[in-house]
Amino acid sequence: MGLALCFGQVYSLSKKSLVNFGYLLHLAISNLYSIIVPMEDFLYAIHENDQPDEYIDSMVRNSSPEFAVSTSFDPGFISGLVSSGFLVMATHYEDQELLLPKLHVSRTILVPREIKSGKTVRRRAKQYTFTFDHCFERVLNACIDSHSPTWITPSLTKAFLDMRTNSLDPLQLSRPVSFELWKGDELHAGEFGILCGGCYTSYSGFNHDSGAGTVQLHALGHLLKKTGVAIWDLGMAVPYKFDLGAETIVRKDFVALFRLLRTKPSPDFFIHPQQQRFRVSRLLEPDKPLLYPLSIY
């Protein structure tokens, strides 16, 4: 197991460099979140030969901090991490990139069938259509461009793309996917995340006009509801997520729930996607089922 204070061994740093490394990493992640994050939150190294489930069990048992760190961006390694419940991020340290798997102390989740959509969202929804996995790389690049500094580094970007290439492997539980909001033929908002069995985890999003991001979130929630996704994992707690109807659960409960859901087959809609566009106004109607194989309804 790699759950130890072992940066000096992992990165061949001197004791003096170890102190500098911890401080710089502290600054890098604090900058990502624009908040002060305790340095002790990222003192755990994880290696390619570690078993992610065992690693997570130790984190739960020892009430460990949220971040681990690794120098590996191997897509198989990252697929194993996200299939165990980690949310993967990355940062730069001097001339190298570092992978930052995160296991939140508390996780924000939403049961899609409980999503709440008010009149304002429904009124705005009339001008948009919605697609699944229509242009993943475009969405990923838009997320990178919309957030500066970004935790989506070049090596992590490549890993996400490689994971999609390998996603037909039946042994790979997790697949990066995207969702897109359109006005006519123009892309106005979108997000990407990881689909793992009966759980979808949001990673990052973007929007090009006021209100489009909110409509995209509601459209996604209703699509997850109508396709049978059990849990929408929203990561860290942010007020707008609670407006959707989300709640927080502690780490050990999230891990137990995630392990149950990851073994469930993903809904057929996501396994065999069709390139249809959904009218968001109809998608938000609770009693309207998805229609196949119509391109627009």
pLDDT at 296 > cutoff 80:
no
Dump pLDDT digits (tens) for 9-30: 333 323 333 334 454 455 455 4
**Could you give the count of Cα atoms lying within 13 Å of 283 in the half-sphere of its Cβ?**
30
- Identify the pLDDT of residue 60: 94
The mean predicted confidence, pLDDT, of the chain is: 83
Question: Computed over its alpha carbons, how large is the radius of gyration of the chain?
Answer: 19
Residue 13: count of CB within 10 angstroms of its CB: 15
- Identify the pLDDT of residue 172: 60
**Domains observed in the chain:** 7-103 (no CATH), 107-283 (3.40.630.70)
Dump pLDDT digits (tens) for 187-241: 999 999 999 999 999 999 999 998 999 999 999 999 999 999 999 999 999 998 9
DSSP H helices, the chain, are 7-11, 15-33, 52-61, 75-82, 119-125, 136-146, 154-165, 212-227, 239-243, 251-262, 268-271, 280-283
Dump pLDDT digits (tens) for 143-159: 999 987 789 999 999 99
Pairwise pLDDT comparison (18 vs 168), residue with the higher score: 168
Burial of 272 by CB count in 10 Å (0-12 exposed, 13-18 middle, 19+ buried)?
Answer: exposed
